[in-house]
């Protein structure tokens, strides 16, 4: 998937910008706060209809304005053209259009523009709670698996209802209806997550070895109580506890993806460099799986490239993503010379854009 052109209006510090992009590596350079990440976030809106950060739509409107709009002209790998427009107005809400037609539900768009982001915020995957890792898995798997997405939507709806009910001392048979609903969708969620993590494992290992030139064994592991006990049985066993807590204390909304290095938890025992290489390897594994399942090379956003890796590893990464297996890439860095030197070292072609105060000039 190639984004040939993007127009952005009143999005964060960008008043109005139109950029014609290269189908290979696009680099945005400029000072801190210039608006480099904001451009990547606008691209993210075209894929996911939301910010890649924990920002609400209205926080993305340029201060003092009423609405923003992002318009992307894409070209699929088979040369078919696509237009995606995402707009948000304080009064009218959010609209997402593909080729002029508005979606009824935003979730219908998921997977249409495959995209992988590597950003400084990824460290939350290591440092934060299991919720962050579940959110990551959910977003990733939903991009390629409609059945998963639908099971997740059904599960969350049933969970909400069950939790509401628990607060009202309900009849047991009423609860059982929800238990059955949860168990059915949980089975899909559990199986697909388990499969996906097993598929990712060798890929993450492969990319980690390429990037780090180190030999530690790394491991991704899905941790779920459903491994031992079917959810329906767990729910019955936990019923009294659930009444006391007034919410559902078991199920895939409590699962985790455990990351470890040399048999120890990555968070506690991985060095900074090891943690960052692990995260990049994880994202590259995601890229490879998405590319295969969508039969379309995803767009890759590498925000603040040098935040993650030193120069030698960045050069290693650029050599890798500059190859034919990868498609269009967006890179940001605040140091133009460092980036150019490393790109030169990797021997890859690129287009450079200078970003200052929310506007772009080609270099
Ligand atoms: N809603 C908004 N309206 C106007 N300006 C905003 C809004 N949200 C963020 N900004 C501005 O956007 C700028 C940050 O842009 P961005 O994060 O893209 O910078 P950057 O070029 O990636 O910088 P760095 O190199 O530090 O990562 C800040 O100056 C911030 O004040
Ligand atoms: Mg930035």
| Amino acid 360: pLDDT | 83
* 33-57: average pLDDT: 96
pLDDT digits (tens, 9 = 90+) for 56-83: 999 999 999 999 999 999 999 999 999 9
Q: How confident is the model at residue 107 (pLDDT cuts 50, 70, 90)?
A: confident
Ligand 1: centre distance to CA 16 (Å): 14
Sequence ranges of the domains in the chain? 1-114+297-363, 126-295
| Amino acid 363: pLDDT | 66
* 197-224: average pLDDT: 92
| Amino acid 184: pLDDT | 97
- In sequence order, the β-bridge partners of residue 301 are 117, 330
Better pLDDT: 215 or 190: 190
Q: How confident is the model at residue 346 (pLDDT cuts 50, 70, 90)?
A: confident
**CATH 3.40.50.300 applies to domain 1-114+297-363:** yes
Pocket of ligand 1 (CB under 6 A): 12-13, 30, 32-38, 59, 61-63, 304, 332, 334
The position carrying tokens 């698996």 is 145
Contact call for residues 288 and 307 (beta carbons, < 8 A): no
* 116-125: average pLDDT: 94
Pocket test for ligand 1, best of 8, 29, 35, 65 (most atoms within 8 A of CB): 35
d(CA 191, CA 8): 40
| Amino acid 246: pLDDT | 92
Q: How confident is the model at residue 44 (pLDDT cuts 50, 70, 90)?
A: very high
| Amino acid 216: pLDDT | 84
Pairing relation of β-strands 101-102 and 115-118? unpaired
Q: Whose CA is nearest to atom 18 of ligand 1?
A: 35
Identify which ligand lies nearest to the alpha carbon of 33.
1
pLDDT digits (tens, 9 = 90+) for 273-324: 899 999 999 999 999 999 999 999 999 999 998 887 888 889 989 999 998 8
State the average pLDDT for the chain.
Answer: 94
Token pair listed for 259: 């990351």
In the chain, at which residue ranges do the beta strands (DSSP E only) sit? 2-11, 14-20, 25-29, 67-75, 81-89, 93-98, 101-102, 115-118, 218-223, 256-261, 264-265, 299-302, 329-333, 350-356, 359-362
Identify which ligand lies nearest to the alpha carbon of 31.
1
pTM of the predicted model as reported, rounded to 2 decimal places:
0.94
Q: Is 33 helix (H, G, I), strand (E, B) or coil?
A: coil
| Amino acid 77: pLDDT | 93
Q: Whose CA is nearest to atom 29 of ligand 1?
A: 33
pLDDT digits (tens, 9 = 90+) for 153-184: 999 999 999 999 999 877 788 899 999 999 99
Superfamily of domain 126-295: RecF/RecN/SMC, N-terminal domain (1.20.1050.90)
| Amino acid 174: pLDDT | 87
d(CA 217, CA 221): 13
């Amino acid at each position: 998937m190639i984004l040939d052109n993007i127009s952005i209006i009143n999005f964060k510090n960008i008043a109005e910008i139109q950029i014609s992009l290269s189908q290979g590596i696009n680099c945005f350079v400029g000072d801190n706060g210039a608006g480099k990440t904001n451009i990547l976030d606008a691209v993210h809106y075209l894929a996911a209809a939301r910010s890649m950060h924990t920002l609400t739509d209205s926080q993305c409107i340029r201060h003092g304005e009423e609405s923003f709009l992002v318009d992307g002209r894409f070209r699929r790998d088979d040369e078919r053209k696509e237009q995606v427009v995402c707009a948000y107005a304080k009064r009218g809400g959010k609209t997402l259009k593909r080729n002029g037609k508005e979606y009824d539900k935003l979730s219908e768009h998921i997977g249409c523009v495959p995209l992988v982001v590597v950003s400084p915020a990824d460290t939350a995957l290591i440092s934060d709670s299991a919720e962050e890792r579940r959110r990551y898995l959910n977003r990733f798997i939903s991009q390629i698996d409609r059945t998963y997405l639908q099971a997740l939507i059904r599960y969350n709806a049933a969970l909400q209802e069950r939790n509401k009910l628990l607060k009202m001392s309900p009849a047991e048979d009423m609860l059982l209806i929800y238990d059955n609903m949860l168990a059915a969708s949980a089975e899909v969620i559990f199986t697909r997550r388990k499969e996906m993590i097993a598929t990712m494992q060798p890929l993450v290992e492969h990319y980690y070895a390429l990037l780090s030139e180190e030999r530690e064994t790394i491991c991704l592991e899905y941790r779920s109580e459903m491994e031992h006990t079917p959810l329906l049985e767990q729910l019955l066993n936990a019923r009294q506890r659930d009444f006391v807590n007034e919410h559902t204390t078991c199920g895939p909304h409590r699962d985790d993806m455990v990351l470890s290095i040399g048999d120890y938890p990555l968070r506690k025992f991985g060095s900074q460099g090891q943690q960052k290489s692990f995260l990049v390897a994880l994202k590259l594994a995601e890229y490879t799986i998405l590319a295969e399942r969508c039969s379309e090379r995803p767009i890759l956003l590498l925000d603040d490239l040098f935040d993650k890796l030193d120069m030698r590893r960045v050069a290693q990464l650029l050599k890798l993503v500059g190859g034919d297996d990868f498609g269009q890439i967006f890179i940001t860095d605040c140091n133009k010379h460092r980036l150019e030197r490393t790109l030169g070292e990797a021997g890859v072609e690129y287009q450079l854009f200078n970003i200052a105060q929310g506007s772009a000039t080609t270099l």
